[in-house]
């Protein structure tokens, strides 16, 4: 995808940022460099082959401890570079608790 077709502005990193990708089930992990990032995705340069990895859904680990991460999906591959989009978590609306749903009845206070 050409840079002119991207929906959001990207931030380029001159040398890249060291990150890792990890399978959803934690069975594999691979070092890579994040070359650029935007609100909706990133461009990664993966160390080694990506042919044997399941990149339908995986985690992009932004910290060495794994506390900062994004859930991703691969959208394109160009050699050792992988374009990913960030998947948003399903946000379920919280229903009000039963006490919050009570409607006061006039004259019964």
**Domains present along the chain, CATH in parentheses:** 3-86 (2.40.10.220)
Tell me the pLDDT band of 88, cut-offs 50, 70 and 90: confident
pLDDT at 101: 56
The mean pLDDT of 43-68, rounded to a whole number, is 88
pLDDT in tens, 1-37: 455 555 678 899 999 999 999 999 999 999 999 999 9
pLDDT at 54: 80
pLDDT at 71: 95
87 near 74, Cβ under 8 Å?
Answer: no
**Is the pLDDT reported for residue 52 higher than 60?**
yes
pLDDT at 53: 81
Instruction: Confirm whether pTM is higher than 0.75.
Output: no
Residue keyed to tokens 């340069």: 45
Which helix (H) or strand (E) segment is 85 a member of?
Answer: strand 81-86
Report the alpha-carbon distance of residue 75 to residue 18 in Å, rounded.
Answer: 21
């Amino acid at each position: 995808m050409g840079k002119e077709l991207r929906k959001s502005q990207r931030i380029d990193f001159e040398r890249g940022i060291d990150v890792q990708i990890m399978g959803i089930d934690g069975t594999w992990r691979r070092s890579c460099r994040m070359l650029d990032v935007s609100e909706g995705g990133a461009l990664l340069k993966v160390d080694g082959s990506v042919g044997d990895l399941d990149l339908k859904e995986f985690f992009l680990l932004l910290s060495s401890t794994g506390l900062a991460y994004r859930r991703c999906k691969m959208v394109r591959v160009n050699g050792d570079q992988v374009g990913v989009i960030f998947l948003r978590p399903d946000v379920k609306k919280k229903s009000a608790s039963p006490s919050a749903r009570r409607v006061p009845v006039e004259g019964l206070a």
